[in-house]
Homo-oligomer: A and B are copies of this chain.
């Protein structure tokens, strides 16, 4: 009796929920290329962008990736996605700022990188572009924020762009369609665990 009450309440609640959700889905009827920002200090920003690459490839879309900052080419993501069809992959960094310690070189590297990104942002045959760790060149002033925002706004209408990195500038979030702030509640690294293959690299 109590069990059947519980089942009935569940059914009623879910029926009501379905109405609300069906209405929301009916309202969301527009298709467009999205600009997504994945920011904050938590683990999961770049991996989320790579997961969207996998989803897009599953729908036979063409994808492009530009990795700023990162200079290494031994990551799992690069090894894996370079083997796939329809993937353009650029490693545009020369290592972390604390490794190069050279403002002029970092600036020039980022600016050379942005020219390559501009080409992808003009190519409507690329359905999804990941700009991994783009927030740092913006934060350090290596790239002109206004110019970057303009290039993003003028991209093909149906092209999706995903930008990752800590401290996304407000002006970037303002023009974005979806913004997720990833909060670091707990991280294995702080507890003495080194970066793990398959998880962090």
B178–A186 CB distance below 8 A = yes
Taking a contact as CB atoms closer than 8 A, the residue among B11, B173, B197 that contacts A101 in the complex is B11
In the assembled complex, A154 has its CB within 8 A of some CB on chain B: no
User: Of all chain B residues, which has the CB nearest A61?
Assistant: B198
User: Of all chain B residues, which has the CB nearest A158?
Assistant: B196
What residues of B have a CB within 8 angstroms of the CB of A42 in the complex? 180-182
What is the minimal beta-carbon distance from A125 to any residue of chain B, in angstroms? 14
What residues of B have a CB within 8 angstroms of the CB of A52 in the complex? 47, 51, 198-199
CA A44 – CA B79 in complex, angstroms?
A: 22
User: What does the 1/0 interface line of A91-112 toward B look like (CB < 8 Å)?
Assistant: 0000011111111100000000
A58–B31 CB distance below 8 A = no
In the assembled complex, A69 has its CB within 8 A of some CB on chain B: no
What is the minimal beta-carbon distance from A40 to any residue of chain B, in angstroms? 7
CA A184 – CA B132 in complex, angstroms?
A: 20
Taking a contact as CB atoms closer than 8 A, the residue among B24, B34, B103, B188 that contacts A199 in the complex is B34
What residues of B have a CB within 8 angstroms of the CB of A14 in the complex? 97-98, 100-101
CA A53 – CA B28 in complex, angstroms?
A: 30
User: Of all chain B residues, which has the CB nearest A16?
Assistant: B98
What residues of B have a CB within 8 angstroms of the CB of A173 in the complex? 185-186
What residues of B have a CB within 8 angstroms of the CB of A162 in the complex? 199
Most chain B beta-carbon neighbours within 10 Å: one of A61, A101, A184: A101
A194–B50 CB distance below 8 A = no
A36–B43 CB distance below 8 A = yes
Q: Pick the 7 closest A-B CB pairs, nearest first.
A: A58-B76, A56-B198, A47-B51, A58-B80, A50-B51, A55-B76, A58-B79
A contact set with B: CB distance below 8 Å: 6-7, 10-11, 14-15, 17-18, 21, 24-25, 27-32, 34, 36, 38, 40, 42-59, 61, 75-81, 96-104, 127-128, 160, 162, 173, 176-199, 201
